[in-house]
Amino acid sequence: MAPSGSADLVIVANRLPVDRVTLPDGSTEWRRSPGGLVSAIEPVMRANDGTWIGWPGGTETDLEPFEDEGLDLVPITLTQQEVEDFYEGFANATLWPLYHDVVAKPEFHREWWDAYVAVNRRFAEEAAAVAAKDATVWVHDYQLQLVPQMLRELRPDLRIGFYLHIPFPPAELFQQLPWRRQLLEGLLGADLVGFQLAGAAQNFVRLVRQRVGHKTHRDLVYLPDGRTVRAAAFPISIDAQGFEDLARSEEVSQRAKEIREAVGNPRRIFLGVDRLDYTKGIYARLRAYSELVVEGELNVEDAVFIQVATPSREQVEQYRILRDDIDRLVGRVNGDLGKIGRPVIHYLHSSYPPEEMAAFYRAADIMAVTPLRDGMNLVAKEYVACRFDNDGALVLSEFAGAAEELRQAWLVNPHDINGMKSAFLEAYRADDKEVTRRMKAMRKTVKQNDVAAWAESFLTELEAGRPSHGKSVRPPNRS
């Protein structure tokens, strides 16, 4: 395919950075999606005439490329059947549970795989059409693991990077996939394959050597066509300064006080913030907390747990079951242990804007982030960024990627209920000096390694191996 596009940088992700919103009068508009990925990549896109390719989230067929706040966006259409087979099926009922240590049992269906191949090809063809000669293409996440190789075949002139935002499983799990070789070969279409943790990159290289048969050395894979692919860790982060600025604002400070007053101004507020997903460990966390109340270690007059659970994939049966289980647990705990005006757990099944989340982070004394497995978990970093007074305790799962950086958190095994209870109590009883020592160190880590540094490090590494005649991506102007 001859180069026909004009974009020097192409971002390919499952979703666009905007959502289509229907207004009360029936008209529609595009609204910027929350999330660190957009804020990280937007400056680089603006500096390089970038284009973002993604699915808008519905089944509309009338969408054309458009511009939003100066960003060039190219929507990809999915049919209802493709949403069910590619997105709800192969991406989220096959890959998601498999890559998260089989917390739920993955399903393997050939028709789901066929849809995955077809949709990945559509993304690859669109990227090939919009990319300028010698452009850089950055492909994101588990929904699009075949795109790099498909794109390489269409446009060998391109510099291609791939980044996996979720964990990459060990060989014993990955090898269960009937299409394991195809996925590995799909990723090898990239020049640089990025992961959250070094262990994930090592898993990938080991699998390529065992299953595809290519020669490898440390983090490099040597392909028969002479190309070399590098697999390395690039831990993702957040817009740390943006969250701190938000937390310092008068509106957020006032709202944080209102939240504390609304729950009765207890001595300590525990907080959990998660998508309602079976990998997040919400049920075990609430059970551990409720047992502390039963045992008299915590009192509803002195402590309360606020759990924010953002609705997620509600059409998937496993997620509906999880929601019912948590609803029953919260109802039983509050019915058995709560008092009038003093529930043990405030459970909020809703999504909130960044300002409200920052207020929750400011209001909470103890943040509980206890996923059973997580690629990174940015909530932990958001909480740290918002604690500009160097107060607040973080209880963090060992199995979240963030645990490798936030070593000063109270680290727990989320499968160990008694261990989690002990960590909750230690954080609850810790003196101010201990809390400040830990939070200061974590804040330094988060501020030094923010999302802009993540994007810059990945793109710099991707460009490092480009032939000298190629076109390099320019870094954004920093004020």
Nearest to 218 by CA among 226, 227, 209, 210: 209
- Which pLDDT belongs to residue 461? 96
Query: Helix/strand/coil (H, E, C) string of 435-462?
Result: HHHHHHHHHHHHHHCCHHHHHHHHHHHH
**Contact of 431 with 415, CB cutoff 8 Å:** no
CA separation for the pair 89, 116 (Å, rounded) = 9
Helix (H) or strand (E) holding 256: helix 250-262
Looking at 85-179, list the stretches that DSSP marks H as alpha helix, in order from N- to C-terminal side: 96-99, 110-130, 147-154, 171-174
Q: Which domains does the chain have, with CATH numbers?
A: 7-236+452-464 (3.40.50.2000), 241-448 (3.40.50.2000)
CB count within 10 Å of CB 454 equals 20
Name the token pair of 9: 């940088």
CA separation for the pair 93, 97 (Å, rounded) = 6
pTM value is 0.95
- Which pLDDT belongs to residue 2? 47
- Which pLDDT belongs to residue 32? 79
Chunk the chain into consecutive blocks of 10 residues (it has 479) and report each block's average pLDDT, rounded to whole numbers.
76 90 83 71 82 92 88 94 96 96 95 98 98 96 98 97 97 97 98 97 97 96 96 95 96 98 97 95 98 98 96 83 96 97 96 94 98 95 98 98 98 98 98 98 96 93 77 62
Strand-strand pairing, 268-275 and 228-233: unpaired
CB count within 10 Å of CB 62 equals 6
Residue 93 has, within 13 A of its CA and on its CB side, a CA count of: 22
Strand residue runs (E) in 223-365: 228-233, 268-275, 303-310, 345-348
Strand partners, 345: 305
Cα of 460 vs its chain's centroid, Å: 22
- Which pLDDT belongs to residue 71? 87
CA separation for the pair 400, 298 (Å, rounded) = 26
- Which pLDDT belongs to residue 316? 79
